[in-house]
Amino acid sequence: MALPRVSLQTFLTNARSALRSATEHRSDVTLVIGNESADLDSLTSSVLYSYLRSAKPSPRAFSQIHVPLLNIRRADIALRPEFLALLPHADLQSKDLITLSDLPEEANLRTSLSPEKTHWILVDHNSLQGSLGSIYRERVAGVIDHHEEENKVPSDTGEEPRIIERAGSCTSLVTNYCRESWDSITTNEAAEYDAQIAQFALASILVDTTNLQSKVKVTPSDEEAVKTLEMKIAADAQLSTSFDRTGFFNEISRAKSDIGSLQLHDILRKDYKEWVENGHRLGISSIVKPISFLLQKAGEEEAETNPADCLLRATERFAQDRHLGLYAMMTTSTSTKGEFQRELMIKALTEDDAHTARKFANEASGTLGLEDWDTKEMDNTSENSIWTKIWWQRNIEHSRKRVAPLLREAMK
């Protein structure tokens, strides 16, 4: 039975209350969580799925309300300027989002939110990592994702989906999965709410596919989803008159790239993911500025004349603080000729990991189109790391979704 339609802000208030009730009264709760980098796609896919599944819950659903959980602490929202640009379009503030800060303290998590009282739906990843994974991995009950299959989600997910397939954006897959159910609860009276959540969801699809212009990222799923979402926007008399897709894309995209005010440490952790493979820990930062920008930032922060040493020290500290054996930094930017480009830095902190890094370089060079960077000033010059190397990545279609599995395979 469909529930009365509400705004996104009201839904998130209700979802937070459901989570609080679950922790206080040990009631059942379903949480929808994106990956640990908590990027725009993880935000919109978790909120869209939760909103629509809660608006029309299955009679056999584990819990009536699905709670969208952003996989960061509340303070870290400030590191994501694209969030701050998008939220006002949905009449939201950062305080409305539900984050790890809304969970009980980690020491009390297992008792306050007992595993058997939870179901977890994964979006934009398909393996629950970290401390949440150690407690709730066996309670994962569904997944919608566009990353490489890790076979961590049960093959039978019952009332919840099990979708892992290629797309430019996970939100596209969520939109297409929920479309029929969404259409069944669409009314003239709810047109405003439909348009609001549609524009919210559209943001990440446009950013991840460069406004559907990326030849290497756009799939039929993305095109189908954008068509659905724009139809929802067009059905609302007010939003349809003011909405401009290109202008909206440009606004959110510019905000995502506006990281100049952040400290280097925050830039490295803003879009960061971590894995453990064969007893070794791998971390990868994805950054929307070139290494030349990071060199300048590092030099300014340490007020030194050798920015390469400053950046090496900063990445060294970042990796050591996280007890990494391998650390990778992937950058995206636009060249002076207006062409999209990628850079890749690999840092190994032990001899074993240096062997893995060299193995990766040999095996993945052709796939990724690795080409030595312009200068050797940052190769193998760190005081503490065993091995450091930087390349241009000429096969630009391969993002972290491809690089991470290649590194993890080399670690086995």
Contact status, residue 222 vs residue 168, Cβ threshold 8 Å: yes
Residue with tokens 């954008």: 226
**pLDDT for 45:** 98
DSSP codes joined into one string, 151-198: S-S-S--TTS-EEE---S-HHHHHHHHHHHHHHHT--STTHHHHHHHH
Beta bridge partners of 284: 273, 328
Percent helix / strand / coil, the chain, rounded to 5: 50, 15, 35
Q: In what order do the strands lie in the sheet with 370-372?
A: 272-277, 280-287, 326-334, 340-348, 387-393, 370-372
Q: What pTM, to 2 d.p., does this model score?
A: 0.92
**pLDDT for 182:** 97
**pLDDT for 304:** 72
**pLDDT for 385:** 66
d(CA 145, CA 227): 20
**Measured on CA atoms in the order 360, 362, 363, 364, is the torsion positive or negative?**
positive
Contact status, residue 179 vs residue 185, Cβ threshold 8 Å: no
**pLDDT for 408:** 96
Helix (H) / strand (E) containing 341: strand 340-348
Per-residue pLDDT of the chain (412 residues; tens, 9 = 90+): 677 899 999 999 999 999 999 999 999 999 999 999 999 999 999 999 999 999 998 888 899 999 999 999 999 999 999 999 999 999 999 999 999 999 999 888 999 999 999 999 999 999 999 899 999 999 999 999 999 999 999 999 988 999 999 999 999 999 999 999 999 999 999 999 999 999 999 999 999 999 999 988 999 999 999 999 999 999 999 999 999 999 999 999 999 999 999 999 999 999 999 999 999 999 999 999 999 999 999 999 988 778 888 999 999 999 999 999 999 999 999 998 889 999 999 999 999 999 999 999 999 999 999 999 876 556 554 555 689 999 999 999 999 999 999 999 999 9
**pLDDT for 61:** 87
d(CA 125, CA 121): 10
Contact status, residue 169 vs residue 205, Cβ threshold 8 Å: yes
d(CA 252, CA 41): 12
Question: What structural domains and CATH numbers belong to the chain?
Answer: 8-255 (3.90.1640.10), 264-411 (3.10.310.20)
Contact status, residue 147 vs residue 164, Cβ threshold 8 Å: yes
